[in-house]
Amino acid sequence: MSASIRSVSRRLCDLSREHFVDPYSRIRWPESVDPDGWYFSPRLLSVHGTAVAGTLGEAGMRRLSLLEALNFFSLNIHGEKQLLQGIAARLHEERFRDASPYLQHFIDEENKHLFWFGEFCRRYGRIYPSRLVTLAAESLPTDVEDFLFFARIMMFEDIVDTYNAQMAADEALVPVAREINRLHHADEVRHRAFGRSLLRHLWREGSARWSRSTRERVSDSLRLYPGVAWREYFNPDVYRDAGLADPHAVMRTAWASEEAVRRRQEMIAPSIRFLVGLGAIREEQG
């Protein structure tokens, strides 16, 4: 691969070992849900800034905060399961030789996250099914697939981590919700740094060989992805469980609200900027 990936991998392996935690004893799980507790920061709720928020009242918003926490952890479960499959498939491939030691930590840490998210959902509610429909795409050359795979991970983790970082700092949250966000954020800082280094490397190695139409496909696909990932934060099943009438209308309103559009821009801006900087997303689309 390259000396830079080798050294990034080595440095991040050291940090992962330093911050190694036993996931099974790390969190104190309360016996039951605290009906007065906030499980998701009120200002991050999908309906924040919409008329729906006003109709729910304080108790309704607290209840919604639990449901949105369950949805947030569920969408993380779905995303991380795909991520684990993709990383496991590449782990011992020669082209990932230098990254492999860190990929091993990546897998280990994502598995811990899956345990925390799964445990939370199992104890205090349920895992919401993913609403994403994956269409069978025509297969691409391996190096293009590698780049797209890690670019999607970066965008997925950037969005999640914005939530994690803000909720880890929110003293209004019940301790268990805050702690899961804090622990996740601590690992994701390394994953995001690794993702950017690896993407720089994959782009440098591969993109010069790609045809113009392949580059355009990569750019279009990356441009679309954040919207697809972000859509999962607006779940009609959650609104139904919160007792809201016409959950699909709530989803459409919340999705299109000024607040949601603004927040989406803010969440995806760093990864789009990075990909435009690389040249993977065409400037005029950025």
Tell me which residues touch Fe ion (CB under 5 A).
110, 113, 188, 191
The three-class DSSP label of residue 210 is coil
Q: How many CB atoms lie within 10 A of CB 130?
A: 16
Given a contact cutoff of 8 angstroms between Cβ atoms, the answer to whether 118 and 105 are in contact is no
Distance CA 170, CA 41 (A): 7
Residues in the chain: 286
If the CB atoms of residues 114 and 250 are measured against Fe ion, the closer one turns out to be 114
CB of 139 to Fe ion, least distance (A): 26
Q: Which residue, 157 or 241, is less far from Fe ion as judged by CB? A: 157
| Residue closer to Fe ion, measured from CB, 47 or 75 | 75
Q: How far is the CB of 224 from Fe ion (least distance, A)?
A: 22
Find the helix packing angle between 51-90 and 175-206, rounded to 10°: 50
Separation of alpha carbons 224 and 134, rounded Å: 13
CB atoms under 10 Å from CB of 3, counted, come to 8
The radius of gyration of the chain's CA atoms, rounded to the nearest angstrom, is 19
Q: How far is the CB of 181 from Fe ion (least distance, A)?
A: 11
| The two three-digit tokens of residue 204, written as one number | 């440098």
Segments in 91-174 forming alpha helices (H) = 100-124, 142-168
Which is closer to Fe ion, CB of 90 or CB of 113? 113
Q: Which is nearer to Fe ion, 50 or 71 (CB)?
A: 71
Residue 37 CB neighbour total at 10 angstroms: 17
Residue 75 Cβ, how far from Fe ion at the closest point, in Å?
A: 11
Return the sign of the alpha-carbon dihedral for residues 218, 131, 116, 46.
positive
By C-beta, is 103 or 202 nearer to Fe ion?
A: 103
Our CB check for Fe ion shows the closer of 108 and 220 to be 108
In the bound complex, what is the minimum distance in angstroms from residue 92's beta carbon to Fe ion? 20
Smallest distance, Å, CB 59 to Fe ion?
A: 31
First vs last Cα of the chain: how many Å apart?
29
Measured CA to CA, the distance from residue 176 to residue 225 in angstroms comes to 31
Q: Residue 191 CB, nearest distance to Fe ion (Å)?
A: 4
